[in-house]
Structure formats: structure tokens, C-alpha cells
């Protein structure tokens, strides 16, 4: 019986780690104090994101609060536009709903956002030698990162029975001219978001 066990031990390819040091074993490692040069040479390259994410795998950070405040600030600064028969200005941002985020993937930074906007507009138009005060809103149903060329604006006028359909149509066309200044401000917003 003993002989069979000895044969199994000799012929076995599986081996436990040596628990006792043998004469041919390497000596155990000794701790060494590192110099500043050693630390600098072994320093990991700067990674994006949090300290816990040194490998730069997936990490998502919400920028919604900053983005909402910044959008309101930028769009509030669009100012007024002069038209052939009147003028109008953006008074306030009624609604700014959406989210913005920064994602770190494989040590590369990517940003994105999706928002819906409603801007309060007030203006004056001359019609038959009378100045008519007009209130309304510019609705931007949805826009997201990289899609500013496809931006569309819907003009909604407050109900005013004194305005004819012809004048309402002219006012809507005039108010659509706000699209280009809005697009420029949103382009500035996208650039600031990328630079964060």
C-alpha cells in the first residue's frame, strides 16, 4: 500500500507550494525604501475621472445642475431682435428640462445632453400705424448633443383677439429669426460642456 502511494507522489504532475524552505529556494524578499526618483518613474499616467477609477473604465457624472443654470444664463443673454415691422426680446426661460452628463470610457471623456426649452418672448409690432404688444413663447421640443443643425423652434402666441391672422403669421415668421442666435448660444454651451 505504501509503495503505491509513493509511486503516485513521484508520478504526479500536481504539486503544492513548498511550505518549508529548501536549500535551492530563493530567499524571501526584503523591504526597500523607495527614493523620489523611483516613485516618479513608477507613477501611473494621469487618468480622467475619479481616483478610484485609475484604469479609466466606465464612469458617469451628472452635470445637469450646472448645464441647466448655464443654459438659462446663456439664453437669457440673447437679447432683442429688430424686425422690419417690430422688435422682440427673450424675457425669460420658462422651462428648461433635461439632463447633461460626462462619461469616462476607456480613459476618454465624452459628454452629452438632452433638453427641452420654452422661452418667454415679448415684443411690439406696428400694424396699420398702431403698435401692438405681443407676448408668446418659443418652444424647442427636444435637442441633444451634436444636433444643433437640426434645431427647430415652434412659436406660440398668447391669445389676442385684436390680432389678425395675417399679422400673427408675420409675427411667427419674425420670431423664428431667434433660431440663429439661439443656435449660436447652444453651440457655445456645447463647447463649454466639452471643456469641463
**Closest alpha carbon to 171 in 183, 162, 163:** 163
> What's CA 126's distance to the chain center, in Å?
42
- CATH (residue range 59-195): 3.15.10.20
CA angle 56, 61, 63 (to 5 degrees): 140
Q: What is the pLDDT of residue 17?
A: 63
Q: Cα dist. 82→79, 88, 93, 125, 177 in Å? A: 10, 7, 20, 10, 10
Q: Cα dist. 170→40, 120, 130, 157 in Å? A: 68, 18, 15, 12
| Torsion sign (Cα): 125, 128, 131, 132 | negative
- Contact (CB, 8 A) for 154 and 136: no
C-alpha cell belonging to residue 186 = 447652444
Tens digits of per-residue pLDDT, 138-193? 999 989 999 999 999 999 988 777 777 888 888 888 889 999 999 999 999 999 99
Q: Dmax of the chain from CA atoms?
A: 120
Number of H helices, E strands in the chain: 5, 6
Tens digits of per-residue pLDDT, 8-41? 555 556 566 656 667 777 788 888 888 888 766 6
Quote the CA–CA distance of 185 and 191 in Å, as a whole number.
Answer: 10
Amino acid at each position: 500500500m505504501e509503495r503505491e502511494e509513493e509511486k503516485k507522489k513521484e508520478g504526479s504532475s500536481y504539486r503544492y507550494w513548498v511550505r518549508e524552505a529548501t536549500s535551492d529556494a530563493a530567499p524571501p524578499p526584503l523591504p526597500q525604501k523607495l527614493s523620489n526618483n523611483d516613485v516618479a518613474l513608477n507613477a501611473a499616467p494621469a487618468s480622467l475621472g475619479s481616483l478610484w477609477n485609475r484604469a479609466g473604465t466606465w464612469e458617469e457624472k451628472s452635470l445637469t445642475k450646472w448645464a441647466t443654470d448655464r443654459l438659462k444664463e446663456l439664453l437669457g443673454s440673447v437679447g432683442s431682435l429688430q424686425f422690419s415691422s417690430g422688435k422682440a426680446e427673450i424675457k425669460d426661460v420658462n422651462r428648461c428640462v433635461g439632463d447633461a452628463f460626462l462619461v469616462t470610457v476607456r480613459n476618454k471623456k465624452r459628454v452629452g445632453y438632452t433638453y427641452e426649452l420654452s422661452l418667454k418672448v415679448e415684443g411690439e409690432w406696428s400694424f396699420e400705424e398702431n403698435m401692438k404688444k405681443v407676448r408668446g413663447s418659443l418652444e424647442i421640443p427636444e435637442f441633444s448633443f451634436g444636433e444643433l443643425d437640426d434645431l427647430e423652434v415652434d412659436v406660440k402666441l398668447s391669445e389676442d383677439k385684436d390680432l389678425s391672422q395675417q399679422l400673427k403669421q408675420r409675427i411667427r415668421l419674425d420670431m423664428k429669426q431667434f433660431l440663429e442666435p439661439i443656435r449660436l448660444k447652444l453651440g457655445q454651451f456645447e463647447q463649454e460642456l466639452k471643456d469641463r
